[in-house]
Amino acid sequence: MRTLILVPALLLAASPAFAAGGPFFSLKNTDFVVLLAFLLFIGVLFYFKVPGMIGGLLDKRADTIRGELEEARALREEAQTLLASYERKQKEVQEQADRIIAQAKDEAATAAEQAKADLQKSIARRIAAAEDQIASAEAAAIKEVRDRAVVIAIGAARDVIAKQMTAADGNKLIEDGIDVVDAKLH
């Protein structure tokens, strides 16, 4: 089929050779000799199936290019899959980091509140201990004042009784004290 189309095309391309003077179909006409050589060359090419080989080589090259394109497409899809995977992992890691930061902030706030509560408890204990020490010191001071007042009152009473009491009254008081102690002990 190619041959049928190629031969008339070659003849039309050789039409300027017809414009030369003299008989065209003579071996003295160089245009005719060139035309014969060209047709012989084309015939040899078709005889050895060079167009089929060139077509086969072109088909093989096209198949190779198609295979490379398919491989490139597969690599591109794999790269996109990996990129999506890494982006997803990055997002997960970022979310985890945000959760850790939020948790750390919550723990820090809780620890601050706990420290504040512990400090208030400590201050309350120290205030209570100081109040206890003050109350204890006040009670000790009151007791000391009372004890001192009792000692002074006893001393004053002794002086008053010593001035007013006679020896007979003293002996009688001693005997009454012994009787009271004897009655309470037995």
What's the angle, vertex CA 48, arms to CA 46 and CA 50, rounded to 5? 65
Answer whether residue 12 shows pLDDT above 70.
no
What pLDDT shows up at residue 143?
87
Rounded Cα gap, residues 130 and 83, in angstroms = 68
What pLDDT shows up at residue 184?
83
pTM for the full predicted model: 0.39
Helix (H) or strand (E) holding 77: helix 50-164
> Greatest CA span in the chain, whole angstroms?
199
Rounded Cα gap, residues 97 and 143, in angstroms = 67
What's the angle, vertex CA 136, arms to CA 131 and CA 141, rounded to 5? 125
Residues 7-25, mean pLDDT to the nearest whole number: 58
pLDDT digits (tens, 9 = 90+) for 131-152: 999 999 888 889 888 888 888 8
pLDDT digits (tens, 9 = 90+) for 34-86: 999 999 999 999 999 999 999 999 999 999 999 999 999 999 999 999 999 99
pLDDT digits (tens, 9 = 90+) for 147-185: 888 888 888 777 777 777 777 777 887 888 888 888 888
